[in-house]
Chain A
Amino acid sequence: MLRVEEVYKSFDGFMAVNGASLHVDKGQIAAVIGPNGAGKTTLFNLITGQLSPDGGKILFQDQDITRLPPYAICRKGIARSFQIANVFPRLTVFTNVQVSVLSKQNRSGTLFRSVTSMAVRETYAILEHVGLADKAQHLAGSLSHGDQRILEIAIALGNEPELLILDEPTAGMSPEETKRTMQLIRELAENRALTILFCEHDMDIVFNVAQSIMVMHHGRTLIQGTPQEVRENKEVQEAYLGGADA
């Protein structure tokens, strides 16, 4: 479904992503792991168009999406969340998700009709699913950090994506919230037939949830395979797991 082929990206001479490759199959939960600064977030930003690669190719459903602007990539069916809580702080929780649903329905440009009754059912369905329905009328900026991260996923769901990309979905969350979030991610993959690609620090989470794992190191792909294959790989043990275990 998603194929990343040998992409490069440098910032002022520093190779943040140095020939990374990745593939995600339909219906899969895939994860990218790697130590801090391995280039995980940069890779995600290349896929969703926030950055454009210096070289390499990105294909989504056999279409070339390399260097398309973010909104165009989103319309092809890829939605994402960001590492830092990235919501619309002065709008209500409801409106945060509504904006995304309206965008999916191609109604963002409608000028002379009231927004109040639009996409209400769809928006509440999503809010109920992620457990934010009771906070629908709160300002997004007033939510707790954990709730803002959940709201981010809700915003991404508003786009009804085929591929959902989550950049460290549990960063900064309490253990309780982390559990809730991972449960949510698993549910989404099952109930909505979503394909999910996420990156994460916490090894336990990754090996529990992901069906395919790509290990990044110094901007390069070390290996991509099943959790079993990754765990048994020597290079990975040296570069990453060994260091973590010791």
Chain B
Amino acid sequence: MFKGNKKTLLVSAILFICLLVAPSFLPRFYTYIIASIYVTALLAMSLNLVVGYGGLYQFHHCAFYGVSAYTLALLITKSHVPFWVAFGAGPIAAALTGYLIGWFCVRLSKLYFGMLQISLGSLIWAIAFRWYSLTGGDDGIHGISVPDFISSTKSSYYFILVVLTISLVLMYIIIKSPFGTTLQATRDNPERCEAVGINVRKHQLIALVISTFFAGVAGVLYVILEQSVFPDLLFWVFSLEIFIMCLLGGWFTFAGPIIGAAMMVSLRTFVGVYTEYWTLVLGVILILLIFFLPEGIMGFFLDKFGAKAPNEDHGGTR
């Protein structure tokens, strides 16, 4: 899978081992922060599937993350279904919502796609925010019980790491598949794609379902980490933050959004301690980025050190 690039493989392996042993050395708080970076990173990467590789204006991605988190939370607190059934139901609910909203959105182009998605996504937010009897309104739902073996910070950290790794591998395979290559072609030139026999709308809709499914996986991981949900999870401002993560990290790269997510979460956590205006720092970073690293941080490094961007290196065997 990662053939042809031993250095990358080695660095990834060392990094992975560091992440494996980290909770044994770090205080609980830092373990929690890293786990929360994992969750956010998965969310950002799921968004990048359709934004970076699909060229779609997915403006309200966290709606699907929230749908999944609420599905799990409601099933646990209001019904007696086993935890793992609810755990699976979350991403499936997110993918179904993604299909429904996407069905309308792919019929529109570019910005209109994004606008419609913000409206429909905000509708879901309004339900979570206003329907007190079901969702608890702006109080959210707290004290969601998760199985004992993943209830501590350390054990949830490992569980999240495992699910994240599986998800990343799956997403990587999908991007390197004929589906992923064709998706990049629809991003580059939808008109030409239609003319070689590709049903562009259908292709984009499938990409949306896959993307929202993984957003849903991030959603249930969030519940396991926090054991609570609240309406801010699906507020459109958060969607904008995820978008910025992809931009920061570099959206034509596979791993870029992870770096973006790590930066955003760290900024919010560590600068947020000093001032509630931490977004000022973010603003300055963004301005610098747009001027000096328009391809994002990861895009810059891949460019600099000669490694090819992931969307440019297939077809290498002959």
Given A70-B195, A91-B184, A100-B196, are A112 and B189 neighbors across the interface (CB < 8 Å)?
no
Among A88, A103, A124, contact of B197 (Cβ-Cβ < 8 Å):
A103
Please tell me if the beta carbons of B194 and A71 are within 8 angstroms of each other in the complex: yes
Binary per-residue interface labels of chain B (207-244) against chain A in the complex, 1 for a CB within 8 Å, 0 otherwise = 00000000000000000000000000000000000000
Chain B residues with CB under 8 A of A118: 178
- A-B contact list, 5 entries, CB within 8 Å: A75-B197, A79-B196, A89-B188, A95-B181, A114-B173
- B147 on the A face (CB < 8 A): no
Is B195 within 8 A of A99, CB to CB? no
Q: A112-B173, A116-B316 are in contact. Are A104 and B181 (CB under 8 A)?
A: no
A115:B312 contact, CB within 8 angstroms: no
- The answer to whether B116 has its CB under 8 Å from any CB of chain A is no
Interface of B is mostly: helix
Question: A137 and B192: CB pair below 8 A?
Answer: no
Cβ of A108 and Cβ of B178 under 8 Å apart? yes
A50 cross-chain contacts in B, Cβ below 8 A: 191, 194-195
Cα of A165 to Cα of B197 in the assembled complex, Å: 14
**Chain A 111-140 residues near chain B, CB threshold 8 A:** 111-118, 120, 123-124, 136-137, 139
Size of interface on A: residues with Cβ below 8 Å to B: 49
Alpha-carbon gap, A156 to B181, bound state (A): 17
B contact residues around A155 at 8 Å (CB): 192, 196
Closest Cβ of chain A: how far from B177's Cβ, in Å? 5
Q: Which residues of B contact A98 (CB under 8 A)?
A: 181, 315
Separation of A111 and B207 alpha carbons in the complex (Å): 10
Across the interface, do A88 and B318 meet the contact criterion of CB distance under 8 Å? no
Give the complex CA separation of A156 and B196 in angstroms. Answer: 7
* B174 interface contact, C-beta 8 A: yes
Shortest beta-carbon distance from A135 to chain B in Å: 12
CB distance B182 to A102 under 8 Å? yes
Chain B interface residue count: which class? 35 or more
Contact status A86-B181, CB under 8 Å: no
Residues of A within 8 A of B286 (CB): none
- Which of B173, B189, B206, B316: most chain A Cβ within 10 A? B189
Residue contact A115 to B198, C-beta cutoff 8 Å = no
Asked if A149 is at the interface (CB within 8 A of a chain B CB), the reply is no
Asked whether, in the complex, the Cβ of A110 is within 8 Å of the Cβ of B178, the reply is yes
A80 neighbours in B (Cβ, 8 Å): 195
Interfacial chain B residues near A60, Cβ < 8 Å:
none
Q: What's the Cα separation between A102 and B316 when bound, in Å?
A: 16
- Considering the complex, give the chain A residue whose CB is closest to the CB of B311: A90
Complex CA–CA separation, A86 to B192 (angstroms):
7
Judged by a CB distance under 8 angstroms, whether A94 is at the interface is: yes
Once A88-B185, A98-B315, A99-B182 are accepted as A-B contacts, the answer to whether A113 and B198 lie under 8 Å apart by CB is no
| Docked CA distance A145–B197 (Å) | 24
Q: Smallest CB–CB gap between B146 and chain A, Å?
A: 30
Given contacts A91-B184, A95-B314, A137-B316, 16 further A-B contacts (CB under 8 A): A82-B195, A90-B187, A94-B315, A96-B185, A102-B178, A102-B182, A108-B178, A108-B182, A109-B178, A111-B174, A111-B179, A114-B1, A115-B314, A116-B317, A123-B315, A124-B318
